[in-house]
């Protein structure tokens, strides 16, 4: 099985699963192009390609060859290696549950 993301204007609009049994190539990709058209980019659940598994609303960055989730908060910074968003302050690891507070740029204990 192979997973594919349809990308329109740089944004993922659809995810589908294709058959990948053709030893000469990727018949799933061929079927998508021949039947649905558009731009389809392979994605991977285990992030072996393109940094992250694509999701609806994600951006595909062709320069980084990566799928990037929507930015969760304006203060968060993109980790260039993982292409994942990170808070400007690391979340505490003391065992409590935390939620990001964008107004204070800090982590608040939940509950």
- For residue range 26-41, what is the model confidence (pLDDT) as tens digits? 667 787 888 888 999 9
Those residues whose C-beta lies under 8 Å from the C-beta of residue 3, and which sit 6 or more positions away, are 15, 16, 17, 18, 42, 43, 44, 45, 53, 54
What is each CA distance from 18 to 26, 29, 42, 48, 62, in whole angstroms? 9, 7, 10, 17, 22
pTM for the whole thing? 0.85
Residue 18 has pLDDT above 80, yes or no: no
Range with lowest mean pLDDT among 30-44, 47-61, 64-78:
30-44
């Amino acid at each position: 099985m192979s997973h594919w993301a349809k990308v329109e204007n740089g944004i993922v609009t659809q995810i589908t699963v294709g058959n990948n049994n053709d030893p000469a190539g990727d018949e799933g990709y061929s079927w998508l192009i021949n039947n649905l058209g558009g731009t389809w980019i392979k994605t991977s659940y285990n992030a072996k390609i393109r940094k992250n598994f694509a999701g609806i609303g994600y951006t595909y960055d062709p320069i980084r060859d990566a799928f990037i989730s929507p930015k969760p908060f304006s203060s968060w910074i993109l980790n260039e290696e993982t292409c994942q968003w990170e808070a400007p302050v690391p979340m505490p690891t003391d065992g409590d549950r935390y939620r990001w507070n964008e107004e204070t740029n800090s982590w608040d204990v939940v509950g």
